[in-house]
Amino acid sequence: MEMPDRLKCRVGMTSMHLVQEQLRASGTVSSDFGCKILPNAHPVGMSRSHVQPCPIAASLNQLGDMWTLLIVREALNGATRFSHFQRNTGIAKTLLSDRLDQMVRDGLLERHDIGQRGVRHEYRLTKKGRGLVPVMVAISQWGNAWLYGEGKEPVALVHRHTGDPIAPLRPANADGQTFEWRNVQMVPGPGADDALLARFASSRSTKE
């Protein structure tokens, strides 16, 4: 049964992403829900990539789906085999295969042959993948604080040897002194293009 146009735009993003994942896994190209899925779209589950020169936007192109960070979570906890990732995340095998391939291409994971060459593999985090540790800690702390609440945390992060809770992550200077976000300022980086420089200049003039 065809979904009425007036309802298509009301489908939640999570549901849309699940449908996109299923269509992508089967190699189907669809324009349902107003999103066209290309065969080589990246990442899977997103209708298009961000193009603005921003580290957050660029990171979302590789991390902004519902599975990649869960795979990183399992890899940080010692998982290396396809079966481990599939069992612990619940992701469909076809989606997992696609996602692992993409994470290898993105440089987050390394694939190593074990046993008979080309048949069985292990996946290990690269230096780039291990660089997500602060991200994983921050997301865990935010989720516990704002989605579960104190005393209801399903998983807590503690020091392996002392059992002490990990302190909440906060911005800090080179000397380790922490400060609030109101004391953080975004400025153009060395890779800023002319358009971004103009945007920052316009923002400064508006505030003045």
Average pLDDT over residues 17-24: 46
pTM: 0.74
Residues counted in the chain: 208
Band of residue 91 on the pLDDT scale cut at 50, 70, 90: very high
In terms of Cα–Cα distance, which of 130, 139, 137 is closest to 110? 130
Q: What is the pLDDT of residue 208?
A: 62
Residue 22 has pLDDT above 60, yes or no: no
pLDDT average, residue stretch 54-76? 96
Average pLDDT over residues 132-137: 97
CATH for the stretch 67-130:
1.10.10.10
Q: Quick one: 88 exposed, middle or buried, by C-beta within 10 A (0-12, 13-18, 19+)? A: middle
Confidence check: pLDDT of 44 > 90: no
Supply the pLDDT for residue 203: 81
Say whether the peptide bond before residue 190 is cis (omega within 30 degrees of 0).
no
Per residue in 178-197, pLDDT (tens digit) is 999 999 999 999 999 999 99
User: Measured at the alpha carbon of residue 202, what is the angle toward residues 200 and 207, in degrees to the nearest 5?
Assistant: 95
- Domain extents for the chain? 1-49, 67-130, 133-183
E strand or H helix at 97: helix 93-105
Query: Rounded mean pLDDT of 164-179?
Result: 94
18 vs 113, residue with greater confidence: 113
Higher-pLDDT residue of 170, 19: 170
43 and 102 Cβ atoms separated by less than 8 Å: yes
User: Where does residue 16 rank: exposed (0-12), middle (13-18), buried (19+ CB within 10 A)?
Assistant: middle
Asked if 166 and 137 touch (Cβ cutoff 8 Å), the reply is yes
pLDDT at 116 over 70: no
How many CB atoms within 10 Å of residue 44?
Answer: 22
Evaluate if residue 33 carries a pLDDT over 50.
no
Q: Is the pLDDT of residue 4 over 60?
A: no
Q: In whole angstroms, what is the distance from residue 70 CA to residue 135 CA?
A: 12
Closest CA to 107 of 122, 123, 132, 128: 128
pLDDT on residue 23: 42
pLDDT for 204 equals 77
Strand stretches in the chain, DSSP E: 109-114, 120-125
Q: Read off the pLDDT of residues 136-168 as tens digits, 9 standing for 90 and up.
A: 999 999 999 999 999 999 999 999 999 999 999
Closest of 204, 208, 170, 177 to residue 188, by C-alpha: 204
Q: Mean of the per-residue pLDDT values for the chain?
A: 82
* Coil/strand/helix, residue 143: helix
